Amino acid sequence: MALLSIIMLAIAVSLDNLTVGTAYGIRKLHIPPYFLGAIGLMAFGACLIAGIFGEGLRMLLPDRGVSMLSGLLFIVIGLFSLRDIYRSHATEHTKGESEAPEHQLSDWKEGLFLAFALSLDALGAGITAAIFEYSLLLTSAVVAVCSVLFFVLGEKAGFFLIRIKWMKRLSFLPGILLIGLGVYQFVS
């Protein structure tokens, strides 16, 4: 019974990863394995540390504070995404290209920033695991796996969606979605 609860908790805190992965896929931005590893490790670490500190961490970082910080980070990532879309459209117009190739995230700052932002939801999973006395190592491992899995599934969905001709005109949508997700987390 506890395992099912842990899996459901991990899925709940990893849903943002699905959305963000889709946004990156629509941008034709492949996340290399080492950044996926960083996402998993940061989610694992955040969940484990939050579980160890349990209630003390909850007093230090109330749920509202974690939600606001996570939201702010997603807004910043969304703004960078819109900036990159604007730059790529300007480049396409000057070169006369009609389709941008798939490329790989290589900016380590953005990769670590992304991993950090996505790991913040894992703090709540760690605190929940401590409150319900779930195994912290098991919970952290399941959260890490779900975080990476949902991000990859989202990325694949984004790669599929961008192949639909009219979706190419909506290339700004991932940035708007990330900003919307950030605003939602900031105000909820």
* pLDDT for res 97: 47
| Angle between helix 108-131 and helix 2-26 axes, rounded to 10 deg | 160
* pLDDT for res 79: 80
- Break the chain into its structural domains and give their ranges: 2-187
pLDDT digits (tens, 9 = 90+) for 19-38: 889 888 888 888 889 889 99
pLDDT digits (tens, 9 = 90+) for 51-107: 888 756 556 666 677 667 667 766 876 787 677 667 665 655 555 444 555 566 667
* pLDDT for res 52: 87
Residues with Cβ < 8 Å from 105, sequence gap 6 or more? 24, 29, 30, 31, 32, 35, 111
For the chain, state the CA radius of gyration. Answer: 17
pLDDT digits (tens, 9 = 90+) for 111-135: 788 888 888 878 878 877 887 778 9
Q: Which residues of 52-66 are buried (b: 16+ CB within 10 A; e: fewer)?
A: ebbeebbeebeeeeb
pTM, two decimals, is 0.69
